[in-house]
Every structure is written in structure tokens, then in C-alpha cells.
């Protein structure tokens, strides 16, 4: 078999795999959207952003969905605006992190644990924020278990 033919077959198999994965993800997302998830209430936490408390009902049983920010991007922006010193202290310790954002917040979460420049209150503040911020991701994983 020619080299070009082999390359074509590998690329074709990869594209088929990507297509099937994307179809699978769309099916899962549509099933998640049809789950019976109801809001119980909306509360405020430290004024960063509204937090949703929701329940999933399956076969008459209620399961609590982790509390999450209604708008995680807005909550992140507000946290950075209110606590620039916390972010700077962690960044000073871990220069490679870049600005705190949705794609590197887990590095900051781990960096906060190891940053000896943070006060007890600052550490509690950032850990409390990340505790809620991470729940959006946790909920997506949890809801997938019910479909």
C-alpha cells in the first residue's frame, strides 16, 4: 500500500472518530437538557454573582445539584476586581500562571494552597470562591451519570 493511501486512511479514521464523538456528545447534552432539574432558590455569596441551588428529580427521588454561579465569567471578573492582591500574591509565587481565567483557575487553586504570602482570610476567600466556581464542572459530570 502506498504511503499516501495509508495517510489518507489514518486521516479518514480520525475524522470518523471525531464525527462519532461529536454526535455522542450532542446526544448526551440533549438528554441532560431533558432531565427534570428544578431551581429551588437563588442566593448571593460574597456578592460575586448569583448562585443557583437546583435539584434533579429521578424516579421521584430528589438529588441536590452542587451550587454554582449563575454566570461564572462574571463571578471571576468580580473576584479579580475585588481581590487583586490575592491574585498578585499567588502569581508572584507562580509566575508562569498568567492572569487568572477560566482555563487556568485550577492552577491558581493549587497555587493558593502552597502560597505562603496569603493571610488566613485571603486563603479562605479564594478557597471559598473556587469551591463554588468548580461546581459547574462537577455538575456536568454528575448529570452525565443520570443519562
Tens digits of per-residue pLDDT, 17-57?
Answer: 888 888 777 777 776 666 666 655 545 455 666 676 777 77
CB 72 within 8 A of CB 102: yes
The answer to whether residue 68 scores a pLDDT higher than 90 is no
63: helix, coil or strand? strand
- Cβ(86)–Cβ(115) under 8 Å? no
Q: Kindly give, in sequence order, each residue whose CB lies less than 8 Å from that of residue 14, ignoring residues fewer than 6 positions away.
A: none
> In angstroms, how far is CA 77 from the centroid of its own chain?
15
Amino acid at each position: 500500500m502506498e504511503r499516501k493511501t495509508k495517510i489518507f486512511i489514518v486521516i479518514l479514521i480520525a475524522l470518523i472518530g471525531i464525527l462519532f464523538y461529536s454526535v455522542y456528545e450532542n446526544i448526551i447534552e440533549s438528554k441532560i437538557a431533558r432531565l427534570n432539574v428544578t431551581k429551588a432558590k437563588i442566593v448571593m455569596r460574597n456578592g460575586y454573582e448569583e448562585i443557583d441551588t437546583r435539584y434533579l428529580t429521578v424516579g421521584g427521588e430528589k438529588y441536590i445539584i452542587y451550587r454554582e454561579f449563575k454566570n461564572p465569567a462574571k463571578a471571576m471578573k468580580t473576584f479579580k476586581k475585588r481581590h487583586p492582591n490575592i491574585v498578585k500574591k499567588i502569581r508572584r509565587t507562580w509566575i508562569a500562571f498568567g492572569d487568572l481565567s477560566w482555563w487556568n483557575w485550577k492552577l491558581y487553586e493549587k497555587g493558593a494552597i502552597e502560597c505562603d504570602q496569603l493571610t488566613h482570610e485571603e486563603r479562605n476567600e479564594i478557597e471559598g470562591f473556587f469551591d463554588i466556581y468548580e461546581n459547574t464542572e462537577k455538575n456536568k459530570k454528575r448529570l452525565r451519570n443520570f443519562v
